[in-house]
Amino acid sequence: MIETTRLVKAPQRLREFARRSAAVGVVVWVLLVLAVTTDSHETELIHRVVFFAFLVIVPLGLSLALGEQAMRLGLYRLVVFLQPLAAVIAITSFFFGKGIASAALAAVWFVFTGIVALLGVTRLRSRGLHPLPETSIDAGLLYLPVGGAWLIVYRLGVQPFDYGETIILLTVVHFHFAGFAAPIVAGMAGRVLARSKVGTGKTFPVIVVALVAAMPLVAAGITFSPWLGLAGTLLLSIGLVLLAVLTIARVLPAIVSLSARVLLLVGALSSCVAMVLASLYSYSLVAHVLILRIPTMALTHGLLNAFGFTTCSLLAWSVFGAKERPFTPPPRHPVVAPPH
């Protein structure tokens, strides 16, 4: 009995540790806003978004990743406890000039993200592709090391495929927010829907496939062809807009907490506006028509996606996990007491 109680409480304590890490991360991030890491105001803004991902977004996402099971507790404990240290070391790399030393510090974050991906692999192998909400969360865990790898490239100061520094840095941002956080947000919505009377429905699988498939297409668009990038952006937009509609129509009514509902609503609306801007930018690259510049995208799409959609959605699900229990439908058939 005592051992069972410990197995139930241990995941709760680890999730709470991750939430507190995110709360402390907000304080540290506010202090870092006063720091100067580059001469470019535009790059400085993107640096701050990256720092926010390290300090706040990743621990919030990790606080939601385990679910209700106590399996893989050792690996989950490792990533939760390593995250604050890895984040501090990665941020320290930005105060060094680009080169070997800076890349070595950034590599610590890449190792950490690799362990996060290993957590995703173990979850996936132990369960398979079902239930789909958990697979969506696994996808977020698996995409995080891509952002970690590009962080090393950025801090090393090299530019493969003739990428500019800004594109490399934005790729780091993309895989921490759209790659890591968006599938986790979708998975949390799926968890609630799976416990409803009608289940996740036919739209949810489309959302998951769209979010997961869009990531490599967007990356291929950066490397090979803007047409692939446009296809990936449109697919990601479809996934996020459908998620917003599903959240407003079916998820919000199942949640009691007013604060969680407001945060989810803000997140859903922000994602729709952000993806319209992203689609316009991708189209401008294909059509060779200037619609939005990268600095404008960073100030509009980037901030809406980072602070509107991702932060508000993860905060909402953290509130939901801390204060509520997901809606559980009544049994389909009445329970008949056995005859005496």
Tens digits of per-residue pLDDT, 275-295? Answer: 888 888 777 777 777 777 777
Q: DSSP state, 33? A: T
Counted domains in the chain: 1
Report if residue 304 sits inside a domain.
yes
When pLDDT is cut at 50, 70 and 90, the band that residue 8 belongs to is very low
Half-sphere exposure of residue 176: CA atoms within 13 angstroms, side-chain side: 33
Cα 67 versus chain centre, distance: 16
Cα 209 to Cα 217: distance, rounded to the nearest angstrom: 12
Say if 337 falls within a structural domain. no
What is the C-alpha separation between 117 and 140, in angstroms, rounded?
A: 9
Residue of 196, 238, 190, 248 whose CA lies nearest to 214 = 238
The DSSP letter of residue 253 is G
Domain assignment of residue 336, yes or no: no
pLDDT score for 106: 97
Answer yes or no: is 333 within a domain: no
- Alpha carbon separation from 220 to 147, 150, 233, 291, 305 (Å, rounded): 15, 14, 11, 22, 21
Tell me which of 231 and 240 has the higher pLDDT. 240
Nearest-CA neighbor of 53 among 162, 123, 143, 134? 143
339 domain residue, yes or no = no
Mean per-residue pLDDT, 269-273:
93
The answer, yes or no, to whether residue 216 has pLDDT greater than 70, is yes
Q: Note whether residue 162 is domain-resident.
A: yes
**Mean pLDDT of all residues belonging to the chain:** 85
225-246: average pLDDT:
87
Q: Is residue 112 part of a domain?
A: yes
Q: What is the pLDDT of residue 72?
A: 61
Question: Looking at residues 87-112, what average pLDDT do you find?
Answer: 96
The structure tokens 């807009």 sit at 241
Range of the domain at 293: 7-323
Would you say residue 338 lies in a domain?
A: no
Maximum CA extent, the chain: 81
Q: Which amino acid is at 7?
A: L
Higher local confidence (pLDDT), 125 or 161: 125
Q: Is the pLDDT of residue 148 over 70?
A: yes
Average pLDDT over residues 98-121: 96
Taking residues 171-186, report their average pLDDT.
Answer: 93
Q: How many Å apart are CA 203 and CA 244, to the nearest integer?
A: 11
Alpha carbons 270 and 117: distance in angstroms, whole number? 28
How would residue 302 be classed by pLDDT, with cut points 50, 70 and 90?
Answer: confident
